[in-house]
């Protein structure tokens, strides 16, 4: 049974306990941590989302309510993949995955797409992906020994699975970004390697339609009108499959190439989606993620509604909704070496800069991070729970705040990490020590206050803080902290 919405809990003093137990600790209420594991997202996802007109750092749903997005995503949440020389992850138990997101109070994931059926000689060995968007009808064998693709026959089971997983996610109050293409399916990029073009349906050796993409890198350009036409037909089918659902976003391509031709191809596909959906029942946000390698300028100059840049902590200045993803901005070596404290800090730094955080979660696949990830007994590595829980905590604070007026104000706090509606609400991250100087000149009346210890989520209520001037505020505990003030 779903819990009732949390609106108003802070006035009754209940949210304090919920945050503490969400972090896996006892809170000031003394409630057992296990009780929170049953907390679900509040309601079915409402949408479609649109950029919030009052504050373009965030989306809002059909009711006009601001929606804060955060969540873990993983590579095999749509298609299965297996390795030729390493133990392969089992096909995803999607219900268990949604429960995993619920436990951490996450409400967003990227639904991964792999264009190629085979990435030969990747670092994990040859990787095989299935199902594919096109039917294998033959005649003749593709380069992996299976029947060739007929690009005129879209694989109904692929799109049925796409729809079913997006729909089920929406029932849990979780938004899904439908990834359409993948830069790692057209070329052997450095941290995966291999030859994915050999398994690509647009490789002349893999289809019966006479289509020759010539090379993977040219496939994600507008240089071949026949290839573009097939790509647009695939996009139309994907949109037709999920357009009526509220919890949909789109992503053009994961970490594509940053060349001018590739960038224009992505811009074209963004406009194509918007044009096609304009005549449909619903319109959904379209995103563009960091090119690899590349710069973030092409994202902010794009017609996309949301972006995932490569900058570790970009400033959310309102040009785009920013979903900052460890996949692009804070990858495994840094995540692993920096440790849990730095991972938590990354979330709070981004939150106070007006961004929302995503985690490229290794989930149950140790091969993607052999230096750290160690799932056991069919459960994800608990090492990453600190990052997962912190993302959920950021969402809980976002749900308490008035996001319509929440703007980064680094100048107001000595720590430089402050999201505020001056005079009414301040959320401050204090990374170094337990004191912060906060400018409350805009506050004409006292503000309620609480501190949260980021290491375990423990909430400590504090005495009201007088406004009207700068003040020095000290946490009642050691270590990094979040300070929340509200009127």
- Full set of structural domains in the chain with CATH: 44-404 (3.20.20.80), 412-486 (2.60.40)
Between strands 80-83 and 71-73, the pairing is: unpaired
Please give the DSSP secondary-structure letter assigned to residue 258: -
Please name the residues in contact with 66: beta carbons below 8 A apart, sequence gap of 6 or more.
Answer: 52, 55, 58, 59, 60, 398, 403, 404
Looking at residue 89, its pLDDT comes to 87
Secondary structure tally for the chain: helices H, strands E = 13, 24
pTM: 0.91
Distance separating alpha carbons of residues 321 and 337, to the nearest angstrom: 29
Distance separating alpha carbons of residues 295 and 318, to the nearest angstrom: 19
Distance separating alpha carbons of residues 276 and 152, to the nearest angstrom: 20
In this predicted structure, the answer to whether residue 336 has a pLDDT above a threshold of 80 is: yes
Of residues 8 and 150, the one with the higher pLDDT is: 150
Looking at residue 422, its pLDDT comes to 98
Distance separating alpha carbons of residues 200 and 217, to the nearest angstrom: 12
457 within 8 A of 27, measured Cβ to Cβ: yes
Distance separating alpha carbons of residues 15 and 107, to the nearest angstrom: 18
189: its two tokens: 């990029």
Looking at residue 23, its pLDDT comes to 36
Looking at residue 44, its pLDDT comes to 85
80 within 8 A of 91, measured Cβ to Cβ: yes
112 within 8 A of 254, measured Cβ to Cβ: yes
Least confident range from 1-10, 311-320, 337-346: namely: 1-10
Q: Please report which confidence band the pLDDT of residue 11 belongs to, taking 50, 70 and 90 as the band edges.
A: very low
Each residue of 17-42: pLDDT tens digit? 333 333 333 333 232 333 333 445 66
């Amino acid at each position: 049974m779903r819990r009732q919405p949390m609106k108003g809990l802070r006035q009754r003093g209940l949210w304090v306990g919920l945050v503490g137990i969400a972090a896996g600790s006892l809170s000031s209420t003394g409630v057992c941590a296990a009780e929170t594991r049953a907390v679900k997202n509040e309601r079915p996802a409402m949408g479609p989302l649109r950029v919030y007109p009052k504050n373009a750092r965030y989306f809002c749903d059909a009711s006009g309510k601001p929606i804060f997005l955060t969540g873990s995503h993983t590579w095999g949440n749509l298609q299965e993949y297996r390795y030729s020389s390493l133990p392969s992850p089992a096909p995803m138990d999607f219900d268990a995955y949604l429960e995993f997101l619920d436990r951490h109070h996450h409400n967003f994931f990227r639904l991964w797409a792999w264009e190629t059926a085979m990435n030969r000689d990747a670092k994990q060995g040859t990787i095989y992906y299935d199902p594919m968007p096109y039917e294998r009808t033959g005649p003749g064998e593709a380069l992996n020994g299976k029947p060739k693709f007929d690009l005129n026959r879209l694989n109904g089971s692929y799109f049925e699975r796409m729809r079913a997983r997006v729909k089920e996610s929406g029932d849990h109050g979780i938004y899904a970004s439908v990834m359409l293409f993948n830069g790692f399916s057209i070329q052997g990029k450095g941290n995966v390697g291999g030859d994915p073009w050999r398994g690509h349906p647009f490789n002349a050796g893999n289809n019966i339609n006479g289509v020759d993409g010539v090379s993977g890198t040219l496939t994600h350009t507008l240089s071949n009108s026949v290839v573009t036409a097939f790509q647009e037909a695939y996009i139309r089918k994907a949109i037709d499959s999920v357009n009526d659902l509220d919890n949909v976003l789109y992503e053009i391509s994961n970490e594509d190439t940053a060349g001018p031709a590739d960038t224009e191809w992505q811009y074209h596909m963004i406009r194509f989606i918007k044009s096609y959906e304009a005549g449909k029942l619903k319109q959904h946000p379209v995103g563009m993620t960091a090119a690899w390698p590349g710069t973030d300028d092409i994202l902010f100059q794009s017609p996309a509604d949301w972006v995932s840049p490569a900058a570790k902590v970009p400033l959310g200045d309102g040009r785009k909704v920013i979903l900052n993803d460890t996949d692009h901005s804070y990858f495994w070596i840094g995540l692993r070496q920096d440790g849990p404290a730095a991972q938590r800090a990354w979330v709070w730094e981004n939150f106070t800069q007006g961004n929302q955080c995503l985690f490229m979660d290794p989930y149950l696949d140790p091969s993607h991070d052999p230096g750290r990830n160690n799932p056991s007994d069919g459960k994800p590595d608990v090492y990453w729970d600190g990052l997962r829980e912190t993302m959920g905590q950021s969402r809980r604070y976002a749900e308490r705040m008035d996001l319509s007026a929440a703007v980064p104000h680094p100048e107001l706090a000595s720590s430089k990490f402050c999201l505020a509606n001056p005079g009414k609400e301040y959320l401050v991250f204090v990374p170094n020590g337990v004191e912060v100087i906060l400018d409350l000149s805009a506050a004409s009346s006292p503000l309620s206050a609480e501190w949260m210890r980021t290491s375990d989520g423990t909430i400590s209520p504090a005495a009201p803080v007088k406004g009207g001037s700068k003040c020095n505020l000290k946490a009642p505990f050691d270590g990094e902290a979040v300070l929340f003030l509200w009127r």
